[in-house]
Amino acid sequence: MNAPATGLTPAAFDLDAIRAQFPILIEKVRGGRLAYLDNAATTQKPESVLAAIDGYYRHQNSNVHRAVHDLAERATTAYEGARDRIARWFTVAREEIVFTRGTTEAINLVAYSFLRPRLKPGDEILLTGMEHHSNIVPWQLVAAEKGAKVVAAPVLDDGALDFDGWTALLNERTKFIAVVHVSNSLGTVNPVEKMIAAAKARGIPVLVDGAQSVAHIAVDFPALGADFFTCSAHKAYGPTGFGCLVAKREHLDAMPPWHGGGDMIRTVSFEESTWNEAPYRFEAGTPDMAGAVGFAAALDWIESVGLDVIAAHEHQLLVEGTALLAEIPGLRMIGTAANKGSVMSFVMTVGHAQDIGTILDQYGVAVRTGHHCTMPLMARFGVPATVRASLAVYNNREDLEQLATALIKASRMLA
Ligand code: PMP
pLDDT 10s digit of each residue in the chain, 415 long? 333 343 344 556 899 999 999 999 999 999 999 999 999 999 999 999 999 999 999 999 999 998 799 999 999 999 999 999 999 999 999 999 999 999 999 999 999 999 999 999 999 999 999 999 999 999 999 999 999 999 999 999 999 999 999 999 999 999 999 999 999 999 999 999 999 999 999 999 999 999 999 999 999 999 999 999 999 999 999 999 999 999 999 999 999 999 999 999 999 999 999 999 999 999 999 999 999 999 999 999 999 999 999 999 999 999 999 999 999 999 999 999 999 999 999 999 999 999 999 999 999 999 999 999 999 999 999 999 999 999 999 999 999 999 999 999 999 999 8
> In this structure, are 294 and 355 located in the same domain?
no
Q: State the DSSP string of 260-312.
A: -STTSEEEE-SS-EEEPPTTGGG--SS--HHHHHHHHHHHHHHHHH-HHHHHH
> In this structure, are 299 and 393 located in the same domain?
no
Distance of CA 165 from the midpoint of ligand 1 (Å):
25
Which distant-in-sequence residues (6+ apart) come within 8 Å of 219 by Cβ? 89, 90, 181, 210, 213, 229
Task: Decide: 132 in ligand 1 pocket, CB within 6 A.
Answer: yes
Phi, psi (deg, nearest 5) at residue 186: -115, -20
* Residue 229 within a domain: yes
> In this structure, are 167 and 285 located in the same domain?
yes
Q: Residue 207 in 3-state DSSP?
A: strand
Contact 389, 344 (CB under 8 A): yes
Atom of ligand 1 nearest to the CA of 184: 5
Task: Decide: 189 in ligand 1 pocket, CB within 6 A.
Answer: no
What angle (nearest 5°) sits at the alpha carbon of residue 285, between those of residues 92 and 261?
110
- CATH number of residue 360's parent domain: 3.90.1150.10
How much is the pLDDT for 66? 82
- CATH number of residue 156's parent domain: 3.40.640.10
Task: Among 285, 303, 321, identify where a domain stops.
Answer: 303
Atom of ligand 1 nearest to the CA of 373: 8
> In this structure, are 230 and 182 located in the same domain?
yes
Give residue 160's identity as a one-letter amino acid code.
Answer: A
Task: Decide: 209 in ligand 1 pocket, CB within 6 A.
Answer: yes
* Residue 5 within a domain: no
* Residue 44 within a domain: no
* Residue 46 within a domain: no
> In this structure, are 350 and 265 located in the same domain?
no
Task: Decide: 390 in ligand 1 pocket, CB within 6 A.
Answer: no
Strands 331-333 and 273-275 come out as unpaired
Our answer to whether residue 373 is catalytic in this structure is yes
- Domain holding 365, by residue range, is 15-38+306-414
Atom of ligand 1 nearest to the CA of 106: 16
How much is the pLDDT for 13? 84
> In this structure, are 166 and 74 located in the same domain?
yes
Task: Decide: 103 in ligand 1 pocket, CB within 6 A.
Answer: yes
What is the value of pTM for the model shown? Answer: 0.96
Distance of CA 283 from the midpoint of ligand 1 (Å):
20
How much is the pLDDT for 7? 38
* Residue 396 within a domain: yes
> In this structure, are 226 and 250 located in the same domain?
yes
Task: Decide: 232 in ligand 1 pocket, CB within 6 A.
Answer: yes
| Atom 5 (ligand 1) nearest CA | 184
Distance of CA 104 from the midpoint of ligand 1 (Å):
6
266 burial via Cβ count (<10 Å: 0-12, 13-18, 19+) = exposed
Catalytic residue among 141, 284, 328, 373: 373
Atom of ligand 1 nearest to the CA of 182: 3
* Residue 403 within a domain: yes
> CA 383 to CA 378: how far, in whole Å?
5
> In this structure, are 107 and 153 located in the same domain?
yes
Task: Among 269, 284, 303, identify where a domain stops.
Answer: 303
Task: Decide: 104 in ligand 1 pocket, CB within 6 A.
Answer: yes
> In this structure, are 404 and 343 located in the same domain?
yes
> In this structure, are 291 and 236 located in the same domain?
yes
> CA 90 to CA 81: how far, in whole Å?
15
Distance of CA 132 from the midpoint of ligand 1 (Å):
7
Q: Residue 376 in 3-state DSSP?
A: helix
Task: Among 284, 303, 322, identify where a domain stops.
Answer: 303
* Residue 145 within a domain: yes
Residue to mutate (ligand 1; options 43, 98, 100, 103; most atoms within 8 A of CB): 103
Q: Residue 327 in 3-state DSSP?
A: coil
> In this structure, are 124 and 202 located in the same domain?
yes
Provide the number of structural domains found in the chain: 2
| Atom 14 (ligand 1) nearest CA | 104
Atom of ligand 1 nearest to the CA of 209: 1
> In this structure, are 318 and 397 located in the same domain?
yes
